[in-house]
Amino acid sequence: MDKVEKTEVVLLACGSFNPITNMHLRLFELAKDYMDGTGKYRVIKGIISPVGDAYKKKGLIPAHHRVIMAELATKTSCWVEVDTWESLQKEWVETVKVLRHHQEKLEAGHYNQQQNSPVQEKPGRKRKWTEQRQNSTQKKPPEPNPKGVPKVKLLCGADMLESFGVPSLWKSEDVTHIVADYGLICVTRAGSNAQKFIYESDVLWQHQGNIHLVTEWISNDISSTKIRRALRRGQSIRYLVPDLVQDYIQKHDLYSTESEDRNLGVTLAPLQRNTGEAES
Amino acid sequence: MKNRIPVVLLACGSFNPITNMHLRLFEVARDHLHQTGMYQVIEGIISPVNDNYGKKDLVPSHHRVTMARLALKTSDWIRVDSWESEQAQWMETVKVLRHHQNQLLRSATQMEGLDPGKAPSDRAAAPELKLLCGADVLKSFQTPNLWKDAHIQEIVEKFGLVCVSRAGHDPKRYILSSPILCKYQHNIQLAREPVLNEISATYVRRALGQGQSVKYLLPDAVIAYIKNHGLYMTDNSQKGRSTQGN
């Protein structure tokens, strides 16, 4: 089944995950089905990278809570995991640097793997689950890809794509880097104007071969903002976030009117940095 | 809380298979009724339709009942009831409501029997049974020959309706265009789901048939059951299965 020519892909999702919802988790499932379905790619891993506290977004609760919730949410996934590197940095880190970090990590791991025994069981937390799988084709440890190191690609919703157009939120060279060197997988609603957005941007248009638009046929609008609002109003968020996440939120009473005022009036880190640099 | 009217919510449908959207209907309806300050929701009941309903692609009811049971394992207030699915024939929704109303009255009198010293005024009011539905059901009341007028009247007059609307539906309009619904609109509660949620069972079956992931659209336990029993697999779906994750 697995053809040698397939490029191995790692999906990286950056964001607040404040809190993580079933919508975030669906993005991964849809993107993997799409990429595997092209016949050219094989998605081997998904990484959730919650943003650090220095991002200074309004209502952003401490990163360790957001990381734990993401870990609870991915407990039942055999291929998506959480990475804390970004959230542990003191300063806010540009998304392109997070991509670079993970690509370098993969390269280091790849060469280590080649030096060691060729059939090495992949270390990690998903091992137990792998052993339980009935499907023999997936039971095999990932073989060293003869074509090279797996490629990290940025997974996002249409809102992130459109945020490329917000002044000072992204450095234009970073956007170029992301689409030219890594690639974008963007899950969009049926009838969205993502296509138009790409058409209207010269950089995105030029690299559209590296941008994959995945259509989500059923509306999925479970935004974290709505989850926090429901929690403030004492409404149920059941079946919108994984049960374990809901339990954790309740146990630690994470979202309230007070928490929503965190970073109130503070300028978002990217805006601070990008406009500051422009002025100096 | 004491003066609130206890309510039991009943949802009828195929549940083929049950999805997170069905489960959300209950959560949203309960929040809405509590918000009114008049009601206290004490129980939710899911009643999968009888196999003789004859709907296309309907898998046997024992599977649909089991899947609902698995989905409700983590709920402390919703349960599945297999009575409707176990009847020899398909039956009208109003008859399912009557059955559950009788069950509620019976258990209420039994409780009174256990405590004869209680004055009648202290007795807990018998809970009201209300039909829980999506806006599509309200709309279907207008479809000719699908519902008997007498049954619609009995549902809204004797029981009551809690309707959870999805985006794009205007449930008020369906009420205003029906004289019966208009007359009893005080018995119709309209709740709104704040998030767009269109996880239709039809979509889920199609995705399963195509070998695509349905994770996070329905509970993991239900997905595992579907896989173990090979439900909703079309013949050509086997090809894509080996590439599919969980």
Task: Name which of B24, B199, B245 is nearest A218 (Cβ-Cβ).
Answer: B199
Contacts of A32 in chain B (CB under 8 A): 213, 245
Tokens 């952003």 sit on residue: A60
The range of the structural domain enclosing residue B68 comes to 5-111+125-229
Q: State the nearest Cα–Cα gap between A193 and chain B, in angstroms.
A: 18
Least confident of A101-115, A173-187, A260-274, B14-28: A101-115
pLDDT in tens, A244-264: 999 999 999 999 999 999 999
The two tokens of residue A72 are 């609870």
Percent of chain A topping pLDDT 90: 64
| Alpha carbon of residue A264 to chain centroid | 25
Closest Cα in chain B to A46? B245
Query: What is chain A's alpha carbon radius of gyration, rounded to the nearest angstrom?
Result: 19
Cis check: omega of the bond before A19, within 30 degrees of 0: yes
CATH of the domain at A170: 3.40.50.620
* B116 reaches A (C-beta below 8 A): no
Number of domains in chain B: 1
Is B103 part of any domain? yes
The two tokens of residue A90 are 């003191």
At A138 the pLDDT is 46
**Alpha-carbon separation of residue B111 from A182, A202, B43, B62, B116 (angstroms):** 67, 74, 17, 31, 9
Ramachandran angles phi, psi of B187, nearest 5°: -95, 10
Closest Cα in chain A to B240? A37
State which H helix or E strand residue B22 sits in.
helix B20-36
The range of the structural domain enclosing residue A196 comes to 7-116+132-279
Q: State the nearest Cα–Cα gap between B133 and chain A, in angstroms.
A: 17
A131-147 mean pLDDT: 47
Asked if residue A168 lies in contact with residue A278, where contact means CB atoms within 8 angstroms, the answer is yes
Q: In whole angstroms, what is the distance from residue B46 CA to residue B65 CA?
A: 9
Q: Residue A36: name the closest of B230, B239, B233 by CA.
A: B239
Residue A78 has pLDDT above 90, yes or no: yes
Is B243 part of any domain? no
Q: CB distance B23–A22 less than 8 Å?
A: no
Q: CB distance B213–A243 less than 8 Å?
A: no
Ramachandran angles phi, psi of B67, nearest 5°: -65, -40
At A130 the pLDDT is 41
Is B162 part of any domain? yes
Contacts of B243 in chain A (CB under 8 A): 1, 36
At A212 the pLDDT is 96
In degrees to the nearest 10, what's the CA dihedral of B59, B65, B70, B75? 130
Is A214 part of any domain? yes
At B113 the pLDDT is 65
Number of domains in chain A: 1
pLDDT band at A278 (very low <50, low <70, confident <90, very high): low
Write down the ipTM of this complex. 0.81
E strands in chain A: 7-15, 41-50, 80-82, 151-157, 184-189, 211-216
Residue B196 has pLDDT above 80, yes or no: no
**Alpha-carbon separation of residue B108 from B11, B112, B159 (angstroms):** 21, 6, 17
Residue type for position A138: Q
Is A190 part of any domain? yes
B81-100 mean pLDDT: 96
CATH of the domain at B37: 3.40.50.620
Is A2 part of any domain? no
Is A126 part of any domain? no
Is B120 part of any domain? no
A vs B, Cβ pairs < 8 A, gives 75
Is A123 part of any domain? no
Is B245 part of any domain? no
Closest Cα in chain B to A135? B242
Q: Residues B145-152: contacts with CB within 8 Å, 24+ apart? A: B148/B92, B149/B180, B151/B92, B151/B93, B151/B94, B152/B178, B152/B180, B152/B181
* B197 reaches A (C-beta below 8 A): yes
Is A125 part of any domain? no
Is A1 part of any domain? no
Q: In whole angstroms, what is the distance from residue B213 CA to residue B215 CA?
A: 6
